[in-house]
Amino acid sequence: MTNAMDIVIKNGSTNGSVDGNDESRTNLIVNYLPQTMTQEEMRSLFSSIGELESCKLVRDKISVLPASLQALNPALQQGQSLGYGFVNYVRPEDAEKAVNTLNGLRLQNKVIKVSYARPSSESIKGANLYVSGLPKNLSQPDLEALFAPYGKIITSRILCDNISDIEVIKKLLLNGIGLSKGVGFIRFDQRNEAERAIQELNGKTPKGYTEPITVKFANNPSNSAKAQIPPPLAAYLTPQAAAATRRLTAGALPSAGRISIGKSPLFAINKGLQRYSPLAGDLLANSILPGNAITGSGWCIFVYNLAPETEENVLWQLFGPFGAVQSVKVIRDLQTSKCKGFGFVTMTNYDEAVVAIQSLNGYTLGNRVLQVSFKTNKTKTA
DNA sequence: CGACGGGACGC
DNA sequence: CGACGGGACGC
């Protein structure tokens, strides 16, 4: 297994790569891309630095869509973005410049990471560890320090509780309870480094710790066998929507961690969803699909029972905490300029729109109970 | 107890 | 208590 063949670096014209091109100084890996970013958008961004040899956004190819629906739109045939990709420049100096200027760039709600891709190799796969039983006050540097003796750490992370409502924040502020769930991830450069860390740390109580920790290989994200969507519903869903639904079904709340304290109102997740929307379609009504999905222009949300004095900023404040908001619109009477009682909000990401609807439908704003749902196709003329 | 805009292929 | 992440090697 130990093979030095793939790490040969020479000054001359030859090297260890298969195709004879040394990519070690031109090929970049880009991580933490926004979910909605396409390969062409990625190409556009990185082309601004210099000429590209290639650009590849990695997508999952697992399809939840029947072939008949995919045939409607070629874009649906591709799986959802896995949030990372590769950019290979023609010139090493451009690659270097891309790392220096684009690493850390904020795109939508993400901060992208741009770094040199490691040479593709079997030895670097499956080097991600799942660690539990960590002290709640352990910092990320602490975690890395614990694992550093066993190899080169590529990434690390400590998971935190979802902050989905105001109660959690209150607890945090009043009691100073830590966010950490006591679990984290460590990705090593090499799998054998990860294996050694397991041998040395799993079940052990590190110095200064009071409890033993668990260290094992992290689950492979590709085979997360969570609740599946019933076929009739899946037939209407985009891959993104299906994935979001899977997460919701599994009880996980997407978009956690983005919360704006002090920008009230914040909201408890609404329990009794349906009764506030007697006339609205379901959350996943077929009337909203697949038109929105195909045009890719965002998810339009209908907001009803707004007060006559309502201004646009109210809608921004209501929906902003849930994710990327593209536009808001308060519908007004042309004569009086007073709000006619409803408005529209377009959000970029389906899963964020779902959470916003779930959270805001039934929410009492002033003395009015809002009704929030995906926009339907109703027209005034009816 | 009433319910789904308006503008428009754009640098 | 356990906890598996919006995404790190070309899905």
Angstrom distances, CA of residue A106 to CA of A38, A146, A353 = 16, 30, 21
Q: Which neighbouring-strand residues pair with A84?
A: A31, A58
pLDDT tens, residue by residue, A187-214: 999 999 999 999 999 999 999 899 999 9
Q: Read off the tokens for A30.
A: 């880009």
Q: Is the CB of A371 under 7 A from strand B?
A: yes
Q: Is the CB of A50 under 7 A from strand C?
A: no
Nearest nucleotide by C1' position to the A57 CA atom: C10
Confidence band for A297, pLDDT divided at 50, 70 and 90: low
Q: Which residue is nearest to nucleotide C10 (CA to C1')?
A: A58
Confidence band for A7, pLDDT divided at 50, 70 and 90: very low
Q: Is the CB of A237 under 7 A from strand B?
A: no
Confidence band for A148, pLDDT divided at 50, 70 and 90: very high
Whole-number Å distance between alpha carbons of A275 and A35: 32
Chain B footprint positions (protein CB, under 7 Å) = 1-6
Q: Is the CB of A380 under 7 A from strand B?
A: yes
Confidence band for A111, pLDDT divided at 50, 70 and 90: confident
- Is the previous residue joined to A149 through a cis bond, with omega within 30 degrees of 0? no
Query: φ, ψ for residue A243 (rounded to 5)?
Result: -65, -40
Q: Measuring CA to CA, which residue among A163, A117, A351, A136 is closest to residue A254?
A: A351
**pLDDT cut 70: percent of chain A above it:** 63
Tell which wins on pLDDT, A162 or A250. Answer: A162
Sign of CA dihedral A214, A199, A128, A207: positive
Whole-number Å distance between alpha carbons of A210 and A219: 26
Distance measured from the CA of protein residue A343 to the C1' of nucleotide B4, in angstroms? 8
Q: What is the mean pLDDT of residues A298-327?
A: 86
Distance measured from the CA of protein residue A252 to the C1' of nucleotide B5, in angstroms? 34
Q: Which of A88-102, A292-306, A355-369 has the highest mean pLDDT?
A: A88-102
Q: Which residue is nearest to nucleotide B1 (CA to C1')?
A: A278
- Is the previous residue joined to A278 through a cis bond, with omega within 30 degrees of 0? no
Distance measured from the CA of protein residue A201 to the C1' of nucleotide B8, in angstroms? 62
Q: Which residue is nearest to nucleotide C8 (CA to C1')?
A: A31
Whole-number Å distance between alpha carbons of A72 and A59: 20
Residues 188-217 of A with CB under 7 A from strand C: 216
| Least confident interval from A133-147, A177-191, A357-371 | A177-191
SS3 per-residue string spanning A83-117: EEEEEEECCHHHHHHHHHHHCCCEECCEECEEEEC
In this structure, what DSSP letter does residue A189 have? S
Q: Which of A54-63, A264-273, A285-294, A363-372 has the highest mean pLDDT?
A: A363-372
pLDDT tens, residue by residue, A26-54: 999 999 988 778 888 888 889 889 999 99
Distance measured from the CA of protein residue A185 to the C1' of nucleotide C5, in angstroms? 8
Q: Is the CB of A376 under 7 A from strand B?
A: yes
pTM here is: 0.54
Residue type, A215: V
Q: Is the CB of A281 under 7 A from strand B?
A: yes
Residues 333-362 of A with CB under 7 A from strand C: 351
Nearest nucleotide by C1' position to the A287 CA atom: B4
In the block, tokens 């030095």 appear at A4
- Is the previous residue joined to A265 through a cis bond, with omega within 30 degrees of 0? yes
Q: Is the CB of A342 under 7 A from strand B?
A: yes
Q: Measuring CA to CA, which residue among A126, A308, A158, A144 is closest to residue A223?
A: A126
Q: Which residue is nearest to nucleotide C9 (CA to C1')?
A: A120
pLDDT tens, residue by residue, A265-276: 333 333 333 334
In the block, tokens 């062409």 appear at A40
Q: Is residue A155 within a helix (H) or strand (E), and if so which, with residue range?
A: strand A153-160
With a cut of 80, say whether residue A75 has pLDDT above it. no
Distance measured from the CA of protein residue A17 to the C1' of nucleotide C9, in angstroms? 15
Distance measured from the CA of protein residue A38 to the C1' of nucleotide B9, in angstroms? 20
CB A365 within 8 A of CB A311: no
Q: Is the CB of A292 under 7 A from strand B?
A: no
